[in-house]
Amino acid sequence: MRTQHSPSTTVMQTLSHYIDGGWVEEPGAERLPVLNPATGESVAEMPLATADTVDRAAQAAHRAFKAWRSVPPIERARYMFRLRELLVQHTEDLARLITIEHGKVLADARGSVQRAIENVEVAAGIPTLMMGYGLENGAGRGIDEEAVRRPVGVFACVAPFNFPLMVPFWFMPYAVATGNTFIVKPSEQVPLSQQLVFDLIDQIGLPPGVLNLVNGDRHTVDALLDHPLIQGISFVGSTPVARHIYARAAANGKRVQASGSAKNVVVVMPDAVLEKTIPNVINSAFGSSGQRCLAGSIIIPVGVAHEPVREALLASMKQIQVGDGLDPDVIMGPVISAPARDRILAAVADGAAEGGHLLTGGGAAQVSERPGGFFVEPTLFDNVRSGMRLATQELFGPVLSMMPAQTLDEAIAIIDGSPYGNAASIFTEHGGAAREFGARVDVGNIGVNIGVAAPMAYFPFGGARESFFGTEHGQGRDAINFFTDRRIVIRRWFGGVSDARGHW
């Protein structure tokens, strides 16, 4: 057990890989420090898995697959029930680790554990979800046809930093419950909470090799992409990396689902209920310091909504207390790293130089008790126009850009002019406007009076256009499709009952 619990913090000092049912120490491995972004201090050291380590994990998963695929689905589901109970029992420990490694406030961290648990709950229904379909006489008189879902083999997921615990759960429970074996590769910036997840997995009694964890960076990822025993890759991260993953995994004959970057828009119509709309927009733009893939990063007030929206945002933003996410009074934590902070501040400076009107924020936030933390002030721009970098680039920080429009048509054109298509929301009480919006915007997740349109576990989670590469998304039925093949059985019998009463 690598976890040290103290009353104030939970810190893991030496991290390991989990392969073939046990923790694997690699004394000679190259290591990376893991920083707490609220303090800037190193809280752990993470070993980088080499191609040999990846091979060990892939071989173990491949060996395990042979027997695991034949375990009856109802028995595989029982492991999900056990895992669910342990995740529920350890929610608070997991949430603290997420806050320490990522910086988001504890309430957000707990919410993300809950989302992970819900995916395990859905995957516990695998006997029903995995059923195929059949048709008596489907292939002719006396010839029945059936489609059976079969597991495929070894899968791996490569996760981003912004949901350290949750994102692997969009895939892992479904992959394993359908009879595949699996390797998780967390982001090298946030490997802590997956260590505790695998401590829990270690307790549910899975056969060795069914679930494995390798820590590492881009070289580890390339070893996964190139490994001949790995049949498929589930990726979530930025678009340039998603493209690389999609191309390289496909070139190696693997199936791939790859989620990429986002630039999400919130439209506020003149009839929106402002006192409800603004808290939702604030949460969407500044929750998790703007580091959610569904975060609103552009707000389009339509027509006369412009001035009241601007004033209400400014008033609400004054209430955002920035600090260490472990502090219950804090509303917004740090961003993930010093380079991320510097990149966001540079984008803010560019935005002002390009003509964006900086209304508030724009600098590094000073938190006196946490002088080494990577804090950015909640930032609001007005009069941002199409083509400016504030309007086109994913900033992944607490920066909201207002792009006023005169009509809903104009707002929809701005949304569809972006290369990304992860999410878009409209705030209105007008059914016709909401319907028009929903029918026309080309994004994966549409919110109507919802600031963060995050699909529940039984619905697919994925974007469109440059925000997603592949066909099947994570979660729900899409995940079942991704992790299974449909095999056809056509059946007939040449003999028959021996007499009219059915005696043989």
Residues classed as catalytic: 293
Under the binding rule (CB under 6 A), the answer on residue 421 touching ligand NAD is no
Under the binding rule (CB under 6 A), the answer on residue 237 touching ligand NAD is yes
- At residue 19, the 3 state secondary structure works out as strand
Under the binding rule (CB under 6 A), the answer on residue 162 touching ligand NAD is yes
Please report how close the Cβ of residue 97 comes to ligand NAD at its closest, in angstroms.
17
Q: Which residue has the tokens 């680790």?
A: 97
Footprint (CB under 6 A) of ligand NAD, residues 287-306: 293
| Cβ(291)–Cβ(65) below 8 Å | no
Q: Which of 182, 283, 311, 254 is nearest to 470 (CA)?
A: 254
Under the binding rule (CB under 6 A), the answer on residue 238 touching ligand NAD is yes
**Could you give the residue ranges of the DSSP H alpha helices within 90-146?**
91-102, 106-123, 126-129
Q: How many residues bind ligand NAD (CB under 6 A)?
A: 27
Under the binding rule (CB under 6 A), the answer on residue 324 touching ligand NAD is no
Please report how close the Cβ of residue 468 comes to ligand NAD at its closest, in angstroms.
7
Q: Which of 163, 219, 239, 178 is nearest to 478 (CA)?
A: 178
Under the binding rule (CB under 6 A), the answer on residue 188 touching ligand NAD is yes
- Compute the distance between CA of residue 7 and CA of residue 134 in angstroms, rounded to an integer: 57
Under the binding rule (CB under 6 A), the answer on residue 277 touching ligand NAD is no
Which listed range, 140-148, 200-208, 237-245, 324-332, lies at the site for ligand NAD (CB under 6 A)?
A: 237-245
Under the binding rule (CB under 6 A), the answer on residue 361 touching ligand NAD is no
Minimum CB distance to ligand NAD smaller for 160 or for 351: 160
Which listed range, 93-101, 236-244, 349-357, 492-500, lies at the site for ligand NAD (CB under 6 A)?
A: 236-244
Among 54, 98, 126, 159, binds ligand NAD (CB under 6 A): 159
Under the binding rule (CB under 6 A), the answer on residue 47 touching ligand NAD is no
Footprint (CB under 6 A) of ligand NAD, residues 428-467: 463, 467
- Compute the distance between CA of residue 297 and CA of residue 286 in angstroms, rounded to an integer: 9
Please report how close the Cβ of residue 61 comes to ligand NAD at its closest, in angstroms.
18
Under the binding rule (CB under 6 A), the answer on residue 100 touching ligand NAD is no
Under the binding rule (CB under 6 A), the answer on residue 223 touching ligand NAD is no
Please report how close the Cβ of residue 360 comes to ligand NAD at its closest, in angstroms.
24
Under the binding rule (CB under 6 A), the answer on residue 396 touching ligand NAD is yes
Under the binding rule (CB under 6 A), the answer on residue 236 touching ligand NAD is yes
Please report how close the Cβ of residue 435 comes to ligand NAD at its closest, in angstroms.
25
Under the binding rule (CB under 6 A), the answer on residue 393 touching ligand NAD is no
| Cβ(398)–Cβ(240) below 8 Å | no
Q: Which of 339, 158, 336, 340 is nearest to 244 (CA)?
A: 158
- Compute the distance between CA of residue 144 and CA of residue 136 in angstroms, rounded to an integer: 5
Q: If 0-12 CB within 10 Å is exposed, 13-18 middle and 19+ buried, where does residue 495 land?
A: exposed
- Compute the distance between CA of residue 271 and CA of residue 315 in angstroms, rounded to an integer: 20
Q: Which residue is nearest to ligand NAD (CB)?
A: 237
Please report how close the Cβ of residue 185 comes to ligand NAD at its closest, in angstroms.
6
Which backbone phi and psi does 432 adopt, to 5 degrees?
Answer: -65, -40
Footprint (CB under 6 A) of ligand NAD, residues 247-266: 259-262
- Compute the distance between CA of residue 311 and CA of residue 438 in angstroms, rounded to an integer: 27
Minimum CB distance to ligand NAD smaller for 255 or for 263: 263
Under the binding rule (CB under 6 A), the answer on residue 161 touching ligand NAD is yes
Distances (CA, A) of 242 to 50, 101, 232, 237, 261: 21, 23, 14, 6, 9
Please report how close the Cβ of residue 422 comes to ligand NAD at its closest, in angstroms.
5
Element of type H or E holding 32: strand 31-36
Under the binding rule (CB under 6 A), the answer on residue 284 touching ligand NAD is no
Please report how close the Cβ of residue 420 comes to ligand NAD at its closest, in angstroms.
8
| Cβ(268)–Cβ(302) below 8 Å | yes
Minimum CB distance to ligand NAD smaller for 177 or for 340: 340
Please report how close the Cβ of residue 296 comes to ligand NAD at its closest, in angstroms.
13
Minimum CB distance to ligand NAD smaller for 445 or for 484: 445
- Compute the distance between CA of residue 423 and CA of residue 467 in angstroms, rounded to an integer: 9
Distances (CA, A) of 307 to 167, 284, 302, 313, 462: 38, 20, 10, 10, 34
Under the binding rule (CB under 6 A), the answer on residue 285 touching ligand NAD is no
Among 149, 244, 254, 370, binds ligand NAD (CB under 6 A): 244
Under the binding rule (CB under 6 A), the answer on residue 5 touching ligand NAD is no
Inter-axis angle of helices 73-89 and 106-123, nearest 10: 160
Inter-axis angle of helices 91-102 and 192-201, nearest 10: 160
Minimum CB distance to ligand NAD smaller for 221 or for 313: 221
Please report how close the Cβ of residue 461 comes to ligand NAD at its closest, in angstroms.
6
State both tokens at 219. 């070289």
| Cβ(214)–Cβ(28) below 8 Å | no
Distances (CA, A) of 237 to 160, 326, 418: 5, 25, 18
| Cβ(282)–Cβ(309) below 8 Å | no
Among 37, 160, 179, 476, binds ligand NAD (CB under 6 A): 160
| Cβ(154)–Cβ(63) below 8 Å | no
Residues that bind ligand NAD (CB under 6 A): 158-162, 185, 187-188, 217-218, 221-222, 236-238, 241, 244, 259-262, 293, 394, 396, 422, 463, 467
